[in-house]
Amino acid sequence: MAKRLFDLVLSACGLLLLSPLLLAIAVWVKLDSPGPVFFRQERIGRHGVPFRIHKFRTMAHGGQGALITVGADRRITRAGAFLRRAKLDELPQLIDVLLGEMSLVGPRPEVPRYVAMYPAGLRDKVLSVRPGITDVASLEYRDESERLSKADDPEQEYVNVVMPAKLRLAAQYVDRASLAFDLQLILRTMKLVWWR
């Protein structure tokens, strides 16, 4: 209950305070390339319930391709490249937090294809909490796209190496989750993003 109240207050304040920035980014995305401002994609939330995540669109609208982004993906727009580097494309997820689909801190929500590959025990544990905008795995693997670009088969590298490592970190988060730990991760995220 305390965590949900924490999420509600911070996400509402964040959306209010950041509204000029969010509006400016929305205009930039719209002017930079044809298509909608938001990218919506099905992700798996708490207890395995699907929801559609909000992000600023960073790729050419209608482009087909891999579910993972590898290095300098040609689908990424000019505005999108900057938004991804600065992690500003994630800000609309404050809407998902406000709606109760996500939390500020929690395991990153994954697409159904990859959730289907989770080991049963870990799957139940990781999906027992609301997914988050940031978590330990997000911080440890913030250069994931560059890592995958160096692999001979990025998809297999993600499935066999990166995803299991991120799942272990997500499970560790579930074991030690608390408001104090959440606040620590939020501050660490802000520091890393601003420093970048």
Q: Which two tokens stand for residue 81?
A: 């490249």
Cβ–Cβ < 8 Å for 10, 18: no
Q: According to the model, what pLDDT value does residue 150 have?
A: 84
Q: According to the model, what pLDDT value does residue 68 have?
A: 63
Q: Is the pLDDT of residue 95 over 70?
A: yes
Q: According to the model, what pLDDT value does residue 88 have?
A: 93
Reported confidence tier of residue 196, pLDDT bands at 50, 70, 90: low
Amino acid (one-letter) located at 67? L
pTM value is 0.89
Work out the average pLDDT over 7-17: 96
Structural domain total, the chain: 1
Q: According to the model, what pLDDT value does residue 41 have?
A: 93
Q: Is the pLDDT of residue 193 over 80?
A: no
Cα end-to-end distance, the chain, whole Å: 34
Q: What is the pLDDT of residues 27-69, one digit of tens each?
A: 999 999 999 999 999 999 999 999 999 999 998 877 555 566 6
From the list 133, 135, 177, 138, the residue with the least C-alpha distance to 18 is 133
Dihedral sign from CA coordinates of 24, 186, 133, 97: negative
Q: Is the pLDDT of residue 146 over 90?
A: no
Q: According to the model, what pLDDT value does residue 75 have?
A: 83
Question: How large is the greatest C-alpha to C-alpha distance in the chain, in angstroms?
Answer: 46
Q: Which range of residues forms the domain containing residue 14? A: 2-195
φ/ψ bin of 173: left (φ > 0), alpha (ψ from -120 to 50), beta (otherwise)? alpha
Q: Which of 8-12, 111-115, 116-120, 148-152 has the lowest mean pLDDT?
A: 148-152
